[in-house]
Chain A
């Protein structure tokens, strides 16, 4: 199965909204919590209370800072933020369930495979020898070796939730999606152009990570929305007048006019 399926019936995956993710790590921990007792072996932690705690995680949040190249109003770089200031983007990352998944083709044992039914990329841990080559082949850092079990772990797209008949229908979605407080993660079928995820991608310009790596990731990312300045389009007339010299009396005059019985009447008419 090391070879990739010609095509898959469905293309299940996630859309991650970089405009909405607040970097709270809820999806990270809930993913660990679900999966450590779920599909495959536990996600172990080494030296958990010691000097160098580490562990296997299927989903992690990076935090980037983006510094606009050009000052506000000067050409190319899309200016984001009030004065084109640097911007922080929280960046969740789990397996993208690539269509041309190199992690599958490099696997010497056939442990790694892409399901022909729905495109989920999985590791059959009973076959995995823990050579690590699949992790080397993944540009996204989506595979992590479980150091206790010596097998490769990766996001399963919560395959044991999305088809789990023990769960209520509404809950048959990945743990990270269900738990995300901000609603920054969406799950669905990209093969269906009318699915929630396909529509989001179309509407918001969803993009691929590292397209140049030719992996054809299924998961898509939604870019930060373009920003506009405060008060832009506020057609308030007064808002743009010079500091008035009238001060308080201007306001008070206005209130008087507004409240005078004649103006009340006019309004009523």
Chain B
């Protein structure tokens, strides 16, 4: 018998290109639509867009599950007003007119005291709009989620190299030969990292992963260093120790591009001590050995002296930065043997790592024959590459010593000359951009106390003078960002907002307006405590946080704690703008930005949040959002994307500017801009000139290109700050120098942590617990991002949730054996702050003192429209219940926050725990939070796509 005839060429339907938003990676997608059973166009298939520079055709699990997200039964249908008590999830649906009027009624009076409005936007990809909006409203209280996410990484990168890992730079995947990754499970560069690892493997490169847990990327690493959490700083400094010992640093590179030759004033006790020596114009000095005098580092032809102390005029002693580093890191305390016990990594392995880095960097140098000119005008025949690349994320940044660890890592990269070179780590334009080219933070209004803010909220302070403090030293911001508690909190501190607003500290607010952040659940530490704060009432029976407005697209845990819900569309139903003004999605070789647009029209009474925000702005008469006659300036977000100009010629999108769409970067608004984007697969790409591809921080062609594109108005070359005297300024203040003084309780901490050279200190939680650490909480507990889930969103997704329906706690075999735990047992896990009951699974490939679980799988009963008995709620759990936003009390009456003392980044991974087998009883994870109301009854069988099959 012949094989059956098959119809193998079914058409896929209409193809529309847009951008994925199942996570922040922003891959290009093609969405195919076909008429569904009800005649409406429905999504047949979503694939990666081959032409898109970010993902080049691939698509991850989340992206592929977009269909189920888009059709999720947990979608919100219409604006809602709370009718039951906060947390119950009881709402009535109202019209948009009512909803917007309600919001205006609450906010309009606050224009007289704008700080009473706090506008915090979690996983916002339109921060250039939302921050501008807040700026126009005049409230200092704006930030997105960076403060609890990875500001250590971002800030350390910007202050050190003018760039960062994360989405601001990436390994040169095509050329790198050694890739070292620290503390990454998924990251935002989700698909590119996977593609990169694939390339590296194909090219025969070596992949080293430093991570307490050996899953995901670490599973395919050639070498795995199962480090003890919180000790990467020591490991990195030990590698630096080894490089110094082996004399394997790139001195030429350091002299050219870093502040290694700069002179540091050595005048203990004075206000200049530890500051870089500068001339009258503020240019840093180096020692000209030939002329035997200090000259500006910019002096043509100077060969700076690096290796001994010099004497400046007025007998001031000074040392070159490199010399200070050599002295510091050559100390025996950084020797591999000395750090082996603390890090859990054998000395031999640390030596091996350093040797491997040195070998590849210096013996396997690569070159690209391409002439280029540096910022000093020197011509080069080629790009020289040190093919060692690194990447790191929250594993090193989500600790209270994270900023310094991240800095140490960047310093290591600079020492071997691998920043923005072939085979190394490459910045993605509009980066690099030194901190000096970023704005400083702003928290005061242009005039008086109302009206627009004087500038953007978030930026990079240069010293204590830039803190957001009033003249009495009180915090200007509700989250206390840019105060002595966290002076360089460049992303704000969203995780402190609810606690501070509840406590009325530093002041009371009236309305908390939030967008896209599940603050009542997985994005808060101490989840139970936060729930209590959101529902807590004052003596008059009023909620302590009077009004909460929230925009979500789905029935998340946070929805139930808000008073007014502004339902958003799904990502396939709205315009979005992935803008260079915000978080760029460029590639090292090209400038890229992109849009989303409604490939399907909403079939519910929902509106894109950005359009709603613009509408609110117009109703509130905010400057820039209304015309002279008071009418709305923008019809909707699409209109804004095209026509808003930040500066003349600079708008949200860089592509297809100018009347005819022929310009990139700068140019008049183009009325057809969005159409042009759509024709091009919803993105625009502008390639860098060949001679601008590397060493962008000091490459004339790149700097000129950047100016042309409008990244800045004049070239902003960056010098890598091995030594940071911004840090030193805060330390000097702590020592009593200067007018702006920290509170006494913080002086010692500032002195310890604001080391201008990268340093390591024990994470605060274990330091604060002291003796109790080893006795009562001997283990570490972590979370990891599952590749197939995005935070809490994934569980409403019928396909994704089958992969992670519940999360066990993975416990190292050594602990299992000691505690008599077996696979599937239930156990109590305790921290100084709380206890949870969870189901465990045994694991071998993990640091033997570290247990871990998948992040954000645990759900509140009834949330996300899941069954109340959904395993996410009954067997899944949040580690967050064990983590507190504050450190164990010190007995001094102060609330010491559990965060990095420099940036305020939440120290999620400092958690210390103990574990005991739970007595046999109900097999349900604890604590149990009372259910929230489900909104609709979902189907009990799904046969998606049946109408298109035969």
Q: Do chains A and B touch in the complex (CB under 8 A)?
A: yes
Which residue of A115, A166, A179, A236 is within 8 Å of B358 (Cβ)? A236
**Interface-lining segment among A26-34, A95-103, A128-136, A213-221:** A26-34
Q: Is A140 an interface residue (CB 8 A)?
A: no
Does A22 contact B247, Cβ atoms closer than 8 Å?
no
Does A179 contact B47, Cβ atoms closer than 8 Å?
yes
- When C-beta atoms are compared, the residue in chain A nearest to B214 turns out to be A88
**A48-B201 contact, Cβ under 8 Å, with A24-B788, A164-B10:** no
Residues of B contacting A227 with CB < 8 Å? 222-223
Q: Is A10 an interface residue (CB 8 A)?
A: no
Q: Is A51 an interface residue (CB 8 A)?
A: yes
Q: How far is the CA of A265 from the CA of B198 in the complex (A)?
A: 44
Q: How far is the CA of A208 from the CA of B306 in the complex (A)?
A: 60
Residues of B contacting A48 with CB < 8 Å? 798, 801, 938-942
User: Would you give the shortest CB distance from A90 to chain B, in whole angstroms?
Assistant: 6
**Interface-lining segment among B87-95, B275-283, B325-333, B525-533:** B325-333
Does A51 contact B201, Cβ atoms closer than 8 Å?
no
Does A252 contact B8, Cβ atoms closer than 8 Å?
no
Q: Mark B317-335, 1 if CB is under 8 A from A, else 0.
A: 0000011001100111001
User: Would you give the shortest CB distance from B192 to chain A, in whole angstroms?
Assistant: 8
User: Would you give the shortest CB distance from A224 to chain B, in whole angstroms?
Assistant: 8
User: Would you give the shortest CB distance from A227 to chain B, in whole angstroms?
Assistant: 5
Q: Is A243 an interface residue (CB 8 A)?
A: yes
Q: How far is the CA of A174 from the CA of B608 in the complex (A)?
A: 35
Does A38 contact B941, Cβ atoms closer than 8 Å?
no
Q: Mark A189-232, 1 if CB is under 8 A from B, else 0.
A: 00000000000000000000000000000000000110111111
Q: Is B520 an interface residue (CB 8 A)?
A: no
User: Residue among B7, B197, B799 with the most chain A CB within 10 A?
Assistant: B799
Does B220 contact A180, Cβ atoms closer than 8 Å?
no
Which residue of A25, A52, A148 is within 8 Å of B61 (Cβ)? A25
Q: Is B48 an interface residue (CB 8 A)?
A: yes
Does B197 contact A20, Cβ atoms closer than 8 Å?
yes
- When C-beta atoms are compared, the residue in chain A nearest to B290 turns out to be A261
Q: Is B922 an interface residue (CB 8 A)?
A: no
Which residue of B8, B803, B939, B948 is within 8 Å of A37 (Cβ)? B948
Which residue of A234, A256, A261 is within 8 Å of B356 (Cβ)? A234
Q: Mark B349-374, 1 if CB is under 8 A from A, else 0.
A: 10111111011000000000000000
Does A250 contact B9, Cβ atoms closer than 8 Å?
no
Does A159 contact B6, Cβ atoms closer than 8 Å?
yes
Residues of B contacting A115 with CB < 8 Å? 3
Q: How far is the CA of A25 from the CA of B215 in the complex (A)?
A: 13
**A236-B248 contact, Cβ under 8 Å, with A46-B940, A67-B844, A160-B6:** yes
Which residue of B220, B323, B943 is within 8 Å of A22 (Cβ)? B220
Q: Is B845 an interface residue (CB 8 A)?
A: yes
Does A248 contact B942, Cβ atoms closer than 8 Å?
no
**A34-B802 contact, Cβ under 8 Å, with A163-B9, A231-B356, A248-B330:** no
Q: Is B59 an interface residue (CB 8 A)?
A: yes
Does B58 contact A117, Cβ atoms closer than 8 Å?
no
Q: Is A145 an interface residue (CB 8 A)?
A: no
Q: How far is the CA of A9 from the CA of B688 in the complex (A)?
A: 48
**A148-B941 contact, Cβ under 8 Å, with A20-B198, A251-B326:** yes
Q: Is B96 an interface residue (CB 8 A)?
A: no
Q: Is B867 an interface residue (CB 8 A)?
A: yes
Does B217 contact A22, Cβ atoms closer than 8 Å?
yes
Q: Tell me which residues from 64 to 98 in chain A have a Cβ below 8 Å from any Cβ of chain B.
A: 65, 67, 81-83, 85-90
Q: How far is the CA of A9 from the CA of B47 in the complex (A)?
A: 31
**A164-B8 contact, Cβ under 8 Å, with A87-B219, A230-B352, A248-B244:** yes
Which residue of A37, A45, A86, A244 is within 8 Å of B799 (Cβ)? A45
Does A160 contact B10, Cβ atoms closer than 8 Å?
yes
Q: Mark B908-950, 1 if CB is under 8 A from A, else 0.
A: 0000000000000000000000000000001111111110110
Q: How far is the CA of A238 from the CA of B11 in the complex (A)?
A: 64
Residues of B contacting A164 with CB < 8 Å? 8-10
Q: How far is the CA of A255 from the CA of B303 in the complex (A)?
A: 13
Q: How far is the CA of A204 from the CA of B7 in the complex (A)?
A: 36
Does A230 contact B303, Cβ atoms closer than 8 Å?
no
Residues of B contacting A255 with CB < 8 Å? 251, 306-307, 322
User: Would you give the shortest CB distance from A203 to chain B, in whole angstroms?
Assistant: 12
Does B45 contact A33, Cβ atoms closer than 8 Å?
yes
Does B10 contact A170, Cβ atoms closer than 8 Å?
no
Residues of B contacting A83 with CB < 8 Å? 346, 349
Residues of A contacting B246 with CB < 8 Å? 236, 238-239
Q: How far is the CA of A19 from the CA of B198 in the complex (A)?
A: 9
Which residue of B194, B346, B354, B845 is within 8 Å of A88 (Cβ)? B845
Which residue of B199, B216, B355, B871 is within 8 Å of A231 (Cβ)? B355
Q: Mark B2-20, 1 if CB is under 8 A from A, else 0.
A: 0110111111100000000
- B interface vs A, CB < 8 Å? 1, 3-4, 6-12, 44-48, 50, 55, 57-65, 67, 73, 190-191, 194-195, 197-199, 201-202, 208, 214-220, 222-226, 242, 244-249, 251, 303, 306-308, 322-323, 326-327, 330-332, 335, 337, 346, 349, 351-356, 358-359, 787-788, 796, 798-803, 805, 843-845, 865-867, 869-871, 874, 938-946, 948-949
- Between A and B, 13 residue pairs with Cβ closer than 8 Å are A36-B943, A39-B6, A42-B946, A42-B949, A49-B865, A49-B870, A51-B869, A163-B9, A171-B50, A183-B195, A239-B355, A251-B326, A253-B307
10 closest Cβ contacts across the A-B interface? Answer: A37-B945, A230-B352, A231-B355, A231-B352, A86-B844, A181-B194, A183-B198, A48-B798, A49-B938, A247-B330
- A interface vs B, CB < 8 Å? 1, 17, 19-26, 28-30, 32-34, 36-55, 57, 63, 65, 67, 81-83, 85-90, 110, 113, 115-117, 124, 148-149, 159-160, 163-167, 170-171, 175, 178-184, 224-225, 227-236, 238-239, 243-244, 247-248, 250-256, 258-259, 261
